[in-house]
Amino acid sequence: MEYQHIQQFGKKIRDNVNKVMIGRDHTCLVMLSALLSGGHVLLEDMPGTGKTVLAKSLAKSMALSFARIQFTPDLLPSDVTGISVYQPRTGEFEFKKGPVFTNILLADEINRATPRTQSALLECMEEKQVTEGGVTRKLQDPFMVVATQNPVEIQGTFPLPEAQLDRFLVRLNMGYPAFDEAMEILRRFIASQPLETLESVTDGEEILAAQKECEKCKISEDVLAYMVRICEATRDPERTRLGASPRALLALMRITRAYAALQGRDFATPDDVKALAIPVLSHRIVMKSGFGGQNSVKFMEEILKTVPAPTEQEGAGK
């Protein structure tokens, strides 16, 4: 699969999602980049902005299995991963798979579950497997967690710890639609529900092939050095308690390759890094003035303005 084919592959998925969603093309592009780089997505925004619909539209477009978990305070880890049930007829325990055994898992309002239940996803997201009763079971491939949370409402919620946030490749904020987009939403949904009739345009095999091709996308030494300088700048002892880790640096490298490939290029540019630095790094930074949120986003915006980027020729590795 050549890179122009990957570009066409990504465009047909985004065009299909756009039959349901309005004004979310770039968000879909970043989510698709996360999928092709083996990562997970945290959608953080107000209720009713289309987070769940976007996740469902993406799954239907790719003919992937989809499962949704509504996270609540009484949810148990076994409700996520599965549990062994004793069978009297055979006298043995039989493992009943949980909803995590799917391709795309929607963890709705993930911060409403207790830390114990949240931690049930750690192994799933990092190792893409579930260990229960001493037996390790692999999850489906591809596998991506799309989690949602309301950034404003804090009553009855359990903030995600740094270790959990670090498992998410990107954090995205969808925002409210503009006036013209809101009008188009009303026109589109006034007569039908487009999600119900949405058909798939690709399958899991094509996605896995695209993942392998994205891994071959080239990144020059100058662009790699640019990534390192950005991450080093987040480790400011005067302003941050926690900066971007080596895991964050590797995450930025992986998704940058996929992002470049989806635009038909076999090399990554500094502009690719700039486009992804905030969604990849901001949620991994703990500010001294407050945890995450807009403080870290503004901090990242300052870094991108001050850290010098390579020239176009250096970015292309010429």
Question: pLDDT tens for residues 80-113?
Answer: 999 999 888 888 888 999 999 999 999 999 999 9
Say which residues have a Cβ less than 8 Å from residue 15's Cβ, sequence separation at least 6: none
How crowded is the C-beta side of 228, counted as CA atoms within 13 Å? 7
210 C-beta neighbours (distance < 10 Å), count: 23
76: helix, strand or coil: coil
pLDDT at 47: 78
Question: What separation in angstroms does the CA of 210 have from each of 60, 183, 223, 252?
Answer: 18, 35, 23, 18
pLDDT at 151: 73
DSSP 188-222: HHTT--HHHH---S--HHHHHHHHHHHTT-B--HH
pTM of the predicted model, to two decimals?
0.90
pLDDT at 317: 53
Inter-residue contact 130 to 122 (CB < 8 Å) = no
Cα–Cα distance for residue pair 310/220, rounded to 1 Å: 10
Residue type, position 99, single letter: P
Question: What separation in angstroms does the CA of 214 have from each of 202, 224, 235?
Answer: 17, 16, 29
Question: pLDDT tens for residues 272-311?
Answer: 999 999 999 999 998 887 545 558 899 999 999 999 999 7
Question: Which parts of the chain register pLDDT below 50?
Answer: 291, 318
Inter-residue contact 285 to 234 (CB < 8 Å) = yes
The strand order across the sheet containing 240-242 reads 240-242, 286-287, 290-291
